[in-house]
């Protein structure tokens, strides 16, 4: 059996899969990741002379200079990205194969929801709602979507800046994620897809689940990560191409 056949066999046998995704699953949809050759740092970073790539999502930096974040948001909203083959495959693992325990995504692009996943935690938040950074007034996406599409800073009626409910560096992650990290429900496989595993605490999830259930772990990512040694199967290749090859064998979609 070659490596892909082994991976297909593991997926086929599993019934309670935990999946962690990152920006790499959405690059084929036209959304840049942080660290790839067309990554955010290469356009927003250079345009604004960011001190480091993650400054786009740094809460202290946002209070001083919110425009880079709204520029990133514009790219996300204006291009109307559509789910990739891999997003669709993961949706089918939940809706067709009934094999998903939990999908945890670090992404804020809402493509997993668009593909049809419901059993999921968006551990870095969402654009669906926003709050004023001063008076706390809540806004719904339809109230500020037009501004996001124009790359405009959103202002509250009190005059302060409204921030979409994206979890910035320096902010707390949702309780649902912390609870799952502390006490993951029974799992028989962890798949980690398209993440450099460099952002804490999200990057700790695969290890936390493995520690509790001693199960196989698969990593699909072009580049190596600091946690490679913990994985049983690693595919350093394109995500969509890999899922197409998996689908050729398992014929899920
Ligand atoms: P990252 O640090 O940019 O890492 C992405 C990883 O994906 C890299 O290791 C690449 O090698 C890999 N990769 C990129 N394209 C492919 C591909 N086609 N096939 C295989 N591998 C690929 O991104 P992380 O998600 O690890 O970092 C976490 C940050 C990035 C989170 O806070 C996100 O919110 C944030 N982010 C999200 C998005 C999005 O929502 N789509 C976009 C950019 C950044």
**pLDDT, tens digit, for every residue of 55-92?**
889 999 999 999 999 988 998 898 899 999 999 999 99
Cα angle vertex 85, ends 81, 91, to 5°?
Answer: 95
Strands 125-132 and 162-166: antiparallel
Q: Using the 8-state DSSP alphabet, how is residue 41 labeled?
A: I
Is residue 73 lining ligand 1, measured as CB closer than 6 Å? no
Q: What pTM value is reported for the model?
A: 0.95
Q: What's the rounded Cα separation, in Å, for the pair 83 and 201? A: 26
Atom of ligand 1 nearest to the CA of 223: 11
Q: Is 182 exposed, middle or buried (0-12, 13-18, 19+ CB in 10 A)?
A: exposed
Is residue 23 lining ligand 1, measured as CB closer than 6 Å? yes
- Look-up: residue for tokens 């049983």? 232
Which H helix or E strand runs over 95?
helix 85-95
| Confidence at 40, pLDDT banded by 50, 70, 90 | confident
46: CA distance to ligand 1 center in Å? 18
Atom of ligand 1 nearest to the CA of 221: 21
Q: What's the rounded Cα separation, in Å, for the pair 100 and 189? A: 10
118: CA distance to ligand 1 center in Å? 21
CA atoms within 13 A on the CB side of 118: 4
Its sign, for the CA torsion 24, 204, 11, 83, is negative
CA atoms within 13 A on the CB side of 115: 28
124 is catalytic: yes
Its sign, for the CA torsion 115, 116, 117, 118, is positive
Average pLDDT along the chain = 95
Is residue 88 lining ligand 1, measured as CB closer than 6 Å? no
| Whether the predicted pLDDT of 38 surpasses 90 | no
Buried b / exposed e over 187-226, threshold 16 CB at 10 Å, is: bbbbbbbbbbbebeebbebbebbbeebebbbbbbbeeebe
Which residue puts its alpha carbon closest to atom 43 of ligand 1? 33
| Whether the predicted pLDDT of 37 surpasses 80 | no
Its sign, for the CA torsion 93, 94, 100, 105, is positive
């Amino acid at each position: 059996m070659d490596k892909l056949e082994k991976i297909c066999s593991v997926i086929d046998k599993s019934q309670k899969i935990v999946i962690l995704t990152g920006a790499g699953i959405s690059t084929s949809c036209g959304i840049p990741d942080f660290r790839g050759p067309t990554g955010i740092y290469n356009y927003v970073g250079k345009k604004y002379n960011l001190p480091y790539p993650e400054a786009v999502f740094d809460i202290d930096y946002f209070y001083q200079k919110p425009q880079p974040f709204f520029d990133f948001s514009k790219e996300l909203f204006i291009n109307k990205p559509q789910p990739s083959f891999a997003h669709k495959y993961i949706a089918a693992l939940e809706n067709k194969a009934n094999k998903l325990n939990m999908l945890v995504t670090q992404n804020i692009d809402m493509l997993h929801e668009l593909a049809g996943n419901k059993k999921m935690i968006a551990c870095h938040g969402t654009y669906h709602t926003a709050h004023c950074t001063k008076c706390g007034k809540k806004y719904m996406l339809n109230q500020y979507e037009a501004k996001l599409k124009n790359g405009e800073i959103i202002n509250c009626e009190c005059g302060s800046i409204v921030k979409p409910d994206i979890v910035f560096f320096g902010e707390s992650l949702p309780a649902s994620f912390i609870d799952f990290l502390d006490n993951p429900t029974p799992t028989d496989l962890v798949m980690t897809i398209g993440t450099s595993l460099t952002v804490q605490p999200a990057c700790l999830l695969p290890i936390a689940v493995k520690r509790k259930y001693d199960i196989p772990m698969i990593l699909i990512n072009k580049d190596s990560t600091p946690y490679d040694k913990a994985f049983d199967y690693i595919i350093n290749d394109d995500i969509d191409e890999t899922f197409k090859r998996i689908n050729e064998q398992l014929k899920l979609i």
